Each structure stands twice: as structure tokens, then as C-alpha cells.
Amino acid sequence: MKIGKIEEKLLLYKIKKNDREAFIKAYDLYIDQLYRFIYFKVGSREEAEDLCSAVFLKTWNYILENTLRDHRTLKALLYKIARNLIIDHYRKNKDRETVSLDGDNGVKIIDEKQSAIKTMELKTDLLVLETKLPELKDEYREVIILRFVNELSIKEIAEILDKSKGNVRVLIFRALKALKELLESDEKINLNA
């Protein structure tokens, strides 16, 4: 579900006025991308769901406390809260060594009408990426998901990460390069094998 800029501003304004219906609408709009963002960062379906619910509740509390003045977009606020919660989550689970994705259970292929070959291709691609993404540096993975999966603009990413647009562009370039290198090395190993 996509939303226009003006529509988003209206939604934010309504939420600032403690409009519950508007907040639920925002939940419907952003739950998918937020879940995706969290899922690729924590690597577990259950944890992603828990964190997702925590993000929305915390955002609502922010609004109630009237601390929403500085934020221009609701999307940026949601992502920022999500990032903070993920950091807290990492701190609590220090013992865990690596981030592992759930594999097949974590991915749900939505379009069931797709042909079997295409579905297979998609599954393979997803599997490759899902296994390679956790190998990337945290900030690279984050920026790749935001830009190429959730399709956020450079400006939005800059706002979420508290960085300048130029910094974000450089980060994206480096992240892509790193991902490509990972995939290429993987291909080489496969070919040698």
C-alpha cells in the first residue's frame, strides 16, 4: 500500500491530535515494511513480530506525551523507534553470537498464482540474499533494505539515520559494492565446487 506525501502529512497531523482511527490507518500502511526492516535486522520471525508491536505502541505513547513536534514524517519516526528498539533488543540478547534468519519459515511467498519455475527462482534468490545479507555490516544491511527493498528515498533514509544525503549515498554505494562482492565470491566457490 502506497501513500502520497500530502496524505501522509495529513495522517501525521491527525495522529498528533490523538486520532486513533488515523493511527490504525498508519499501522495498516507501514506494518509490512516495518516488519521487513526489523526481520532482516533481527533474523527471527517471532522477534520481528514482537518488536513490530512494540514499535507501534511506543510511537503512540510518544504522541500521547506530545513529543512528536520535531518529526516531519511519521515514517521516519516509526523507523527511528524501530532502530532504537532493535538496539535495545541486541543489548538484552548479548549472549547470542550470530543473527540467523529463519530460512523458509521466515519467508512467505505471497503470490501463489506465479508459475512453479518462477516461484522456485524467487525462492532461490531470496535464499541467497537472505543468507548473504546477515553477513553484511549492520549499517550496510540496513541501508540496502531501506533503499532497495522498502524503496525509501535518500531524504527519508537520511532523516532516519540522522545523516546527510551525501553520506547516505556513499553508504549505499559501499553497501552495494560489499553485497556484490559477497555474491560474486559465493558464485566463484560454487563454480569451483
Partner 1 sequence: MPRPADAGLAMTVCINMNEKDLFKKLNNLKTVKPDDNFKKSYREVLYAQISAGATVNKSESNLKTIWDSVMPGKIFMDMAKPVWVTSLASVLILVVGIGGVYASKNSKPGDSLYIAKIISERAQLAMAFNEKDKAKLGLEFAASRAKEITQVLGESKEQGEEQNKKVEQLSQNFKKEISQVKNRLTTIKAAENKNNQNKAEEVEVFGANLGKSDQRMELAEPVKPEVGGQIQPNIEPNSVATTTEENLNNSDKVLEEAEKMFDEKNYDGTIDKIEEVKQIINQDSNKGQVKGVSETATSTQ
Give 125 or 162: the residue with its C-beta nearer to partner 1: 125
State the Cα angle at 127 between 126 and 129, rounded to 5°: 65
CB of 171 closer than 8 Å to CB of 141: no
Residues in the chain: 193
Binding piece for partner 1, criterion CB under 8 A, among 8-16, 78-86, 89-97, 154-162: 8-16
Question: Taking CB under 8 A as the rule, does residue 149 contact partner 1?
Answer: yes
Binding flag, residue 92, partner 1 (CB under 8 A): no
**Sequence letter at residue 153:** S
Cell of 115: 508459475
Q: Considering the rule CB under 8 A, would residue 87 count as an interface residue with partner 1?
A: no
Q: Which residue reads 498464482 in cell numbers?
A: 113
Report the interhelical angle of 5-16 vs 20-42 (nearest 10°): 110
Q: Among residues 5, 94, 98, 110, which is the contact residue for partner 1, using CB under 8 A?
A: 110
Residues that bind partner 1 (CB under 8 A): 9-10, 13-14, 17-24, 27-28, 31-32, 35-36, 39-40, 45, 48-49, 52-53, 56-57, 60, 64, 106-111, 122, 125-126, 128-130, 144-145, 148-151, 176, 179-180, 183
